[in-house]
Amino acid sequence: MRDQETVEVRELVRPAELTGADAATFRAAAGVGIRARRHQWGDDDHTESLPEQYARAADTAAEQWRGWIAVDGAGGVLGLLTATLPLRENPAVAWVDVVVDPGRQRRGVGSSLMAVAERDLRTAGRTVLTGWTETAGTEPWPDAVPARSGAGAVPAGAPEVAFARRHGYVLEQVERLGRLDVPVAPATLQAWYAALPEHPDHELIAWSDVAPADTAADYAQLKTAMSTDVPSADLEQDEEDWDAGRVADEEAELAAGGGHRLVTAVRHVPTGRLVGHTVLERFDARPAVAYQQDTLVLSAHRGHRLGMLLKIDNLRRLATAWPEVRRVYTWNAEENTPVLAINVELGFRQAGVVGAWQKRLC
Ligand SMILES: CC(C)(COP(=O)(O)OP(=O)(O)OC[C@H]1O[C@@H](n2cnc3c(N)ncnc32)[C@H](O)[C@@H]1OP(=O)(O)O)[C@@H](O)C(=O)NCCC(=O)NCCS
């Protein structure tokens, strides 16, 4: 039997500010997350910095945050489990994430955290737990564990995969993690634009960080559509209830964590309504890295290569707005073939795999 750590698991409180003695435990817990992700990837491209973790831990009208830490006899924080509880929809769901200090893994710390968090979440009425594992590398995987969706697999031997299976989580869906080196050469951008059809009824509009007041309601509708139009396999996912206030809260959280956003949207000129959008984000802690987030075209406007137009135009903006960015990451469900096809066309190559796991507590 492997050595087991004797730990106490307690709830982590988000301090009122990040400086001072009150924040020491939160900072120590965030440090575990930083070291664990760095160890997993060998770089900081997927490491959430302290300000990002602190911003994410703030409650909003739409989400409650909870955290648990595992502490050893000397008071050192060995592991952290966080849960986000959606408040406006998905009343039985909690999104969970667990990290253990690289030097103290495989000694039962993650399991101790999971036992207490599951008990407390069940008490709070959250009986559907969803979590995501990230594994570096490319297919084919040795000992592939297939997703219940029927598309994609993750490697059984990866610690995070073994841990999730050991705790009774079911692999519902697999996403491909793609990476694109940027900036895209101007000649390549030009060739992409030239290959697109004309769009006489559509025009692009763009903003950074905060949606202009006259777009906020339409943007909220696109966010609502995003919650159901992206394939989610058998993961429990209600339609999300977005409005201008929720958009503003999310923008404030991004800014508090040192985040920035480039949004390009497409307006249907005859109706004046926004019918699609795409989002790139970057964080002060990782100036060379950007993340391709949402891309959506409303169903009535699909089939005209508007998704490709949106992505190309935002990549063009990225080169001037954020010249220090060298790589862009994106995640797409393996069954989302239209979006994967666009990303392959743009030059994204697989960098890893994300497993979406779900466990129903009895
Ligand atoms: C996944 C993680 C949290 C596991 O924490 P941990 O404290 O090392 O896990 P435990 O010691 O409680 O392991 C419990 C069981 O999981 C499985 N497991 C965990 N790590 C494993 C590994 N490296 N290889 C194979 N199986 C492993 C085993 O079945 C283990 O039981 P056993 O030791 O009796 O065989 C840790 O590896 C980690 O922080 N990884 C990076 C972050 C991450 O990917 N988190 C998951 C996203 S939600």
pLDDT digits (tens, 9 = 90+) for 120-142: 999 999 999 999 999 999 989 98
Is 342 domain-assigned?
A: no
- Residue 345's pLDDT is 93
Q: In this structure, what CATH number is given to the domain that contains residue 30?
A: 3.40.630.30
Of 157, 176, 195, which residue constitutes the final position of a domain? 176
Residues 75 and 200 in one domain: no
Is 281 domain-assigned?
A: yes
Which protein residue's CA is at the shortest distance from atom 15 of ligand 1?
Answer: 163
- Residue 1's pLDDT is 62
The parent domain of residue 35 ranges over 8-176
Residues 112 and 171 in one domain: yes
pLDDT digit string, tens, across residues 200-252: 999 999 999 999 999 999 999 999 999 999 999 999 999 999 999 999 999 99
- Residue 2's pLDDT is 77
Ligand 1 first shell, C-beta below 6 A: 2, 36, 40, 97-100, 105-111, 131, 133, 159-160, 162-163, 166
Structure tokens at 38: 């760095």
Residues 191 and 172 in one domain: no
How many structural domains compose the chain?
A: 2
Asked if 121 contacts 156 with a C-beta cutoff of 8 angstroms, the reply is no
Closest approach atom of ligand 1 to CA 109: 7
**pLDDT beneath 50: ranges in the chain:** none
In terms of DSSP H, where are the helices of the chain? Answer: 24-41, 50-56, 109-123, 159-166, 186-194, 216-229, 244-256, 306-321, 337-346
CA–centroid distance, residue 84 to ligand 1 (Å): 21
Residues 100 and 219 in one domain: no
Pocket test for ligand 1, best of 77, 118, 134, 163 (most atoms within 8 A of CB): 163
pTM of the model: 0.96
- Residue 306's pLDDT is 97
Asked if 157 contacts 143 with a C-beta cutoff of 8 angstroms, the reply is yes
Residues 207 and 305 in one domain: yes
Is 198 domain-assigned?
A: yes
- Residue 176's pLDDT is 97
Residues 111 and 131 in one domain: yes
Residues 28 and 155 in one domain: yes
Is 338 domain-assigned?
A: no
- Residue 219's pLDDT is 97
Residues 88 and 201 in one domain: no
Is 298 domain-assigned?
A: yes
Is 346 domain-assigned?
A: no
CA atoms of 206 and 146, how far apart (whole Å): 39
Structure tokens at 280: 């790139």
Residues 225 and 287 in one domain: yes
